[in-house]
Copies of this chain bind each other. A is one copy, B any other.
């Protein structure tokens, strides 16, 4: 059976490209974004009551992974990129039906100007991600705290200490969102966002992650992730 679905909304996210997006929601709670509903779904009536929910499910399309190119087995980053597991034993985007599922905190519903925007936090979604559905998180059914979860038994621990160059600290201090942003960048880098295949032998290499309106430039040295600067986003010479 084939079935056709229609995008109901679009994600606005600080994560402007795949590289740097946290691997699960909630890992970087400081990250704030939104879901902008599209007509005819941008209808205030259709969201009535959702304001009483602290968390929502977002079902979305993994649109950065080519549709129709699924793989029976994948190498999850949590296993160091070496061991394979079945695609259905993972949350990999390379699924037969590339549907993603993330629980995020619902901060506010903005309904002025005839539109509907859901302000969310803790997202793990790339900017522009197409949304298929929004559902309330219902704790008494959706929360199974003692579920055994195979290879992803616990949250990934910190891989690195994160430090900031004098320049980066200055740049952060000059921004109104500087303090939250510093926390967010620390949470983002400490679990090592790099895919396993580019980790080896890359000490001193400068990486770039497109965040908000800047290019975050950083490197690894002696077990520390050092933030070098918040560069203008057109400086695309860093590795990503």
Contact = CB atoms under 8 A, between A and B. Distances in A.
Q: Kindly report how many copies of this chain are found in the complex they form together.
A: 2
A71 to B, nearest CB: 9
Contact of A5 (B5, B7, B152): B5
Interface in A160-201: none
A46 to B, nearest CB: 4
Contacts of A136: 88-91, 149-150, 152
Given A50-B150, A53-B150, A147-B54, A8 B140 contact: no
Given A67-B3, A154-B140, A132 B87 contact: no
The 8 tightest CB contacts between A and B, nearest first, are A49-B85, A49-B89, A52-B150, A50-B89, A54-B148, A48-B86, A46-B72, A1-B7
Given A5-B99, A133-B97, A53 B89 contact: yes
A97 B132 contact: yes
A3 to B, nearest CB: 6
Interface in A38-67: 41, 43, 45-50, 52-55, 57, 59, 61, 63, 67
Interface size class of A (residues with CB under 8 A): 35 or more
Nearest to A134: B88
A130 interface: yes
Contact of A143 (B72, B99, B138, B143): B143
Interface in A1-16: 1-8
A30 interface: no
Given A85-B48, A147-B55, A138 B103 contact: no
